[in-house]
Amino acid sequence: MIDPIILFFLLGLGAALLRSELRLPAVIYDFLSIVLLLSIGLKGGIELSKQPFGALLPQILAVTAMGFLLPLVAFPVLHRLGRFKRADSASIAAHYGSVSVGTYAVAVAYLGNRNIAFEEHLPLLLVVLEVPAILVGIVLARGFSRQMRWGEVTHEVFLGKGIVLLIGGLLIGWIAGPQGVASIEPLFFDLFKGVLALFLLEMGILTAAQVGSLRKYGLFLLGFGIAMPLFSAVVGVVLGWLLGLSVGGTAMLGILAASASYIAVPAAMRISVPEANPTLSLTAALGITFPFNVLVGIPLYYAFAVQAHSFFGG
């Protein structure tokens, strides 16, 4: 059975490709993302309130390391093989090292539909994964120049809308706990999938807008946009297995690794690495990798996780 939220994505994509005038107002898109980010944060925070934070530290460190590693793998591929300019390679690498909240949300729905449990603190790992790749991307583009205003960069990265809402939601969920949050559940949890459906409708429209540039940038980008998430998913799945996550959690870490940012990173790169062409990275992350992950990747990465657990043993 195909999840209706995927159908909403296809509806948006199809309508836009047929040049329908359908669009969601930008402020509504904004509003829907705010609700999604807070929901995900709250969910994670509630779970954090139930377990000792210390126990998560190893996972946090390991995932941070992965966040530093992935863009370092992607960069030479883009720069050498793809012959992209240094700045462009760095920026694209940063997008792929970071994560996509939309993809995560679709994965939550996917596992939820199949009653596959996963560690509820994954939103925390999502937050953790947002940041390192951005720093790596900046350093790859600029070097460790003294001219870099690191204060500004840190501000840009940690106080961007996405991270503030995720961390804010986490903290609120953590402090208020399950009972506290109960009163706001009808908005943030019961409507979650409906909100996600509308969000994906607009994502489909935005994805269609990248198709034009896709043709322009050619096959290498297309290949990269599919191969890179596959590679990252394997890394994420293996790491998840090593960390002792459940099958669901392992799949989730694979999905996070495979996803490419199109909110936090584009904004940060635009300011910190201005000479990188944003069309290039958005075409890859939004035009190729997002639909690939949503339509094909998520079930695939879940299969990876099942394999890993049955092969290596739970």
Distances 125 to 44, 62, 75, 157 between C-alpha atoms, Å: 9, 10, 23, 16
Q: How far is the CB of 103 from a copy of itself (least distance, A)?
A: 18
Which position has the token pair 């309130």?
A: 49
Q: How far is the CB of 97 from another protein (least distance, A)?
A: 19
Residue 245 DSSP one-character state = -
* Residues near a copy of itself (CB under 8 A): 1-5, 7-8, 11, 15, 18-22, 24-25, 27-28, 30-31, 34-35, 109, 112-113, 155, 159-161, 164-165, 168, 171-173, 175-177, 179-181, 183-188, 190-191, 193-195, 197-198
Nearer to another protein, 22 or 243 (CB): 22
Nearer to another protein, 239 or 286 (CB): 286
Q: How far is the CB of 16 from another protein (least distance, A)?
A: 10
Cβ–Cβ < 8 Å for 47, 121: yes
* Residues near another protein (CB under 8 A): 21, 23, 26, 29-30, 202, 205-206, 209, 213, 262, 266-267, 270-271, 274-275, 278-279, 282
Nearer to another protein, 102 or 123 (CB): 102
Residue 197 DSSP one-character state = H
Cβ–Cβ < 8 Å for 103, 293: yes
The residues, ordered by sequence, that sit 6+ positions from 247 with a Cβ below 8 Å of its Cβ are 116, 305, 306, 309, 314
* Residue 58 burial by Cβ neighbours in a 10 Å radius (0-12, 13-18, 19+): exposed
* Residue 241 burial by Cβ neighbours in a 10 Å radius (0-12, 13-18, 19+): buried
Q: How far is the CB of 275 from another protein (least distance, A)?
A: 5
Residues in the chain, how many?
314
Nearer to a copy of itself, 58 or 178 (CB): 178
Q: How far is the CB of 64 from another protein (least distance, A)?
A: 26
208/276 Cα distance (integer angstroms): 22
271/141 Cα distance (integer angstroms): 12
74/76 Cα distance (integer angstroms): 6
Q: How far is the CB of 8 from another protein (least distance, A)?
A: 16
Residue 282's binding partner among Na ion, a copy of itself, another protein, none (Cβ under 5 to 8 angstroms by kind) is another protein
Residue 274's binding partner among Na ion, another protein, a copy of itself, none (Cβ under 5 to 8 angstroms by kind) is another protein
Cβ–Cβ < 8 Å for 44, 173: yes
* Residue 178 CB neighbours (<10 A): 12
Nearer to a copy of itself, 158 or 312 (CB): 158
Q: How far is the CB of 112 from a copy of itself (least distance, A)?
A: 8
Residue 279's binding partner among another protein, Na ion, a copy of itself, none (Cβ under 5 to 8 angstroms by kind) is another protein
Residue 5's binding partner among another protein, a copy of itself, Na ion, none (Cβ under 5 to 8 angstroms by kind) is a copy of itself
Nearer to a copy of itself, 160 or 297 (CB): 160
Q: How far is the CB of 306 from another protein (least distance, A)?
A: 35
Residue 190's binding partner among a copy of itself, Na ion, another protein, none (Cβ under 5 to 8 angstroms by kind) is a copy of itself
Nearest Cα residue to 99 out of 213, 299, 254, 248: 254
